[in-house]
Amino acid sequence: MLDVTGIPVDFEGDVAAGAIDNAKADVPEIANAKTVIYDRKLTGDYARTARDGTVYVGPNAFRSTEWLDSTLLHESIHVSQIPTRWYANDPLGSSINDVEAYRAEQQNFVRFGLSPADQAEVNQSLLSDMFVIRRLGGPAAVQQVYSGNYTMP
Amino acid sequence: MSACAAILLSLIAATSGHGDARLEIELAHASMVVGEAPLLTIRLRNTSAGRLWVNTRFGVNSESAVPDFRDVWFDIVGPDGRRLNFDCQVKGRLATASDYRIVQPGDWVGTVDSLSCFKIGLPGTYRIAVKYRDGNSTPPPAPLRSVHLTEQIESNQVQLRVLPSTP
């Protein structure tokens, strides 16, 4: 079966699964996930983590080995939030959850060797969430998150 | 073309963005067994007579997510009448100029989602609808003779019948 680009679907899936296996070796933190699945339909986002601990990775996360590693680290943070800090249904809380994940990516820029463009994207995404935290939680919430406290204020 | 005609055409184009697209959703299967993944196709169709400039990122996220990371969100009501929560954390992708396309009259762009962020665990009938709005706060300018689709659009509603799993 071919997709619209003429690439066999099974071939693409096999390549993606192999790349995920390699990334898992680079990012042992993702071992906390129930499973990590390639989802070729997930084109609008890089990845998503469901509450059952399943991580879905979309095609755009595969633009480089470094970006895939960083994305898996990001999702491992979300998996770690499930037991006590899963705020997916709260606008302020989900931004706090995201800031924790983006800051983990920032702290590992050197480890994964992210390009300046990749770093800029992480920084911009983090900033978008910080604006939400400031709007919904005020300066105190911003201060709390900057200090590394990622619980609901 | 005279200057007056050009101005008139541009005025028509500038006002034709409202109500000129339709969001169509369709399930791959109208029923499934608990535990299976339903596939929902989402199509954004240009129903106007002019060209639309559309963000085709189709970033799926929670209704309450940062708009820069969300173009599509779901409204799903379960058999018990309760609205289902979007229960995922998303590493969103910022839209870029390459996500934008001109959609000709009658043409459509779309995506598919497996509804993996919703807990569809109870047997019964689920009512599903989708909303779309370009969430990008800094979209590239629309090319000449095309109109940027900025309005929020709601889809038709489909029903998914979920059957209990057999032991």
Q: Quick check: B114 and A125 CB within 8 A?
A: no
What is the tally of structural domains in chain B? Answer: 1
Whether residue A4 is predicted with pLDDT greater than 90 in this model: the reply is no
| Residue B10, pLDDT score | 43
| Residue A15, pLDDT score | 86
Q: Which two tokens stand for residue A125?
A: 């995404």
| Residue A110, pLDDT score | 98
Which residue of B39, B91, B94, B109 is the best one to mutate when testing the A interface, meaning the one whose CB has the most A CBs within 10 A?
A: B91
Give chain A positions within 8 Å (CB) of B136.
none
Give chain B positions within 8 Å (CB) of A62.
none
* Domain boundaries, position B99: 3-163
Q: What is the ipTM of this complex?
A: 0.91
Whether residue A81 is predicted with pLDDT greater than 70 in this model: the reply is yes
Percent of chain A with pLDDT over 70: 93
> N- to C-terminal Cα distance for chain A?
50
Closest Cα in chain B to A60: B93
Q: Where are the beta strands (DSSP E) in B1-155?
A: 21-27, 31-33, 40-46, 51-55, 72-77, 88-92, 100-103, 108-113, 124-132, 146-148, 153-154
**Rounded average pLDDT over A101-126:** 97
Closest Cα in chain B to A50: B88
| Residue B17, pLDDT score | 41
C-alpha separations of B113 from A45, A58, A79, A138, B40 in Å: 12, 12, 21, 35, 5
- Name every residue whose Cβ is closer than 8 Å to that of residue A101 and which is 6 or more positions away in sequence: A74, A75, A77, A78, B89, B91
| Residue B161, pLDDT score | 97
The stretches in chain B having pLDDT less than 70 are 1-19, 167
| Residue B64, pLDDT score | 86
Residue spans of the domains in chain A: they are: 9-146
User: What is the C-alpha to C-alpha distance for residues A72 and A136, in angstroms, rounded to an integer?
Assistant: 28
In Å, the largest CA–CA distance within chain B is 74
| Residue B92, pLDDT score | 94
| Residue B61, pLDDT score | 93
* Cβ atoms of residues A125 and B92 within 8 Å: yes
* Cβ atoms of residues A47 and B116 within 8 Å: no
In CATH, the architecture of A9-146 is 2-Layer Sandwich (3.30)
pTM equals: 0.88
| Residue B12, pLDDT score | 42
What DSSP string describes A40-101?
TT--SEEEEEETTSEEEE-GGGGG-HHHHHHHHHHHHHHHHHTTT---TTSHHHHHHHHHHH
Give chain A positions within 8 Å (CB) of B62.
88-89, 94
Look at residues A104, A86, A102, A92 and name the one whose alpha carbon lies nearest to residue A134.
A92
User: What is the C-alpha to C-alpha distance for residues B67 and B72, in angstroms, rounded to an integer?
Assistant: 10
Q: Quick check: A51 and B87 CB within 8 A?
A: yes
Q: Which helix (H) or strand (E) holds A127?
A: helix A116-146
CATH of the domain at B108: 2.60.40.2970
| Residue B82, pLDDT score | 96
- B105-120 core/surface letters (b: 16 or more CB in 10 A; e: else): eeebbebbbbbbbbeb
Give chain A positions within 8 Å (CB) of B113.
41
pLDDT in tens, A14-62: 888 899 999 999 999 999 999 999 998 999 999 999 999 999 999 999 9
For residue A121, the distance in angstroms to the closest alpha carbon of chain B comes to 8
Beta bridge partners of B112: B41
Give chain B positions within 8 Å (CB) of A92.
none
pLDDT in tens, B41-89: 999 999 999 999 999 999 999 998 888 999 999 999 999 999 999 999 9
Q: Quick check: B117 and A132 CB within 8 A?
A: no
Residues 101-140 of A with CB under 8 A from B: 101, 121, 124-125, 128-129, 131-132
| Residue B16, pLDDT score | 37
Give residue for tokens 């019964």.
B124
